[in-house]
Amino acid sequence: SAPGHPVARTPDSFTGSEPSVDESTTMRRFEHRVALITAAAAGLGQGAAYRLAAEGARVTIWDRDDAALEAALAEAKRRGLDVAGRRLDMLVRAEVEAAVDELAAREGRIDVLVNNIGGSLRVPFHFLEQSDEDWERVMAVNVTACVTTTRAVIPVMRRNGYGRIVNMGSKAGRFGSLFTGTPYVAAKGAMQAFTLQIAQEFGPDGITCNTICPGAILTPRVERFLDERHTAEERARIVASIPVRRQGRVEDIAAAVAYLASEEAGFVTGATLDVNGGQAMSI
């Protein structure tokens, strides 16, 4: 899976639609920067990868799904984006550490880490129906994999005196959820706490760490999940409860990632950015 070529335009979303932003207005905040985005062959991770690459980053995406990874790289190449890919199982520590070593050796630096891996993994919604295995699987994917990757990447960032870590939280981790279940809510809450400590400990090294908490973003996976657990009438009521009167799009999250991953956000660390259309607010 070879990288693509330097870029021209910002993509609209991960879906393959043509860009709507004029080439002359495209920002290039990530020239000479190297970004790693986990579980990014589809959905939010893919959208963030395309956005950072469109702004000049050399992006590497990880995923365990060979077919999805190849499709994502082919689309990146079609768009003229510098995106490379690597297949690995992020639940195997040795594979994560080897992949970070390989990337650091090839690029000489890792400036941006987006810990995008996560998911509710379709465990039962009701707490008393969840098994120990359900909890262990959800925690492993949403927390342990991110901890392992962050531990491997931070020494590379420290050597260069610069780093931007963006963790993917969730509205569920801040306000609870009507459909994802307790393990996912607890795991995303844990990632927010993890963010605070990393921000505090590694700020003196030029490394910031922030969390993005999306609401329900309409990726194909979320569409399927919502269809399974909500009727059309319930979904309509959900949209009506959102002040901006729509559900989120992949590009909404990609824009938030791009800001927190940029040099412009150098004085922002330990923050939680809610991207949910105002559906849930706090002081």
Q: What is the pLDDT of residues 57-102, one digit of tens each?
A: 999 999 999 999 999 999 999 999 999 999 999 999 999 999 999 9
What's the pLDDT tens digit per position in 185-241?
999 999 999 999 999 999 999 999 999 999 888 887 777 777 777 788 888 888 888
pLDDT of 236 reads 86
Q: Of the residues 50, 162, 184, 259, which is catalytic? A: 184
**Residue 255 burial by Cβ neighbours in a 10 Å radius (0-12, 13-18, 19+):** middle
User: What confidence tier does 24 reach under pLDDT thresholds 50, 70, 90?
Assistant: very low
Give yes or no: 50 in active site: no
What is the spatial distance between Cα 281 and Cα 61, in angstroms, rounded to a whole number?
A: 32
pLDDT of 85 reads 98
Share of the chain above pLDDT 90, in %: 72
What's the pLDDT tens digit per position in 111-138?
999 999 999 888 999 999 999 999 999 9
pLDDT of 26 reads 61
pLDDT of 17 reads 38
Parallel, antiparallel or unpaired: strands 34-37 and 112-115: parallel
| 248 has a pLDDT exceeding 80 | yes
| 165 has a pLDDT exceeding 80 | yes
pLDDT of 3 reads 36
Picking from 50, 43, 46, 49, the residue whose alpha carbon sits closest to that of residue 219 is: 43
Looking at every residue in the chain, the average pLDDT score rounds to 89
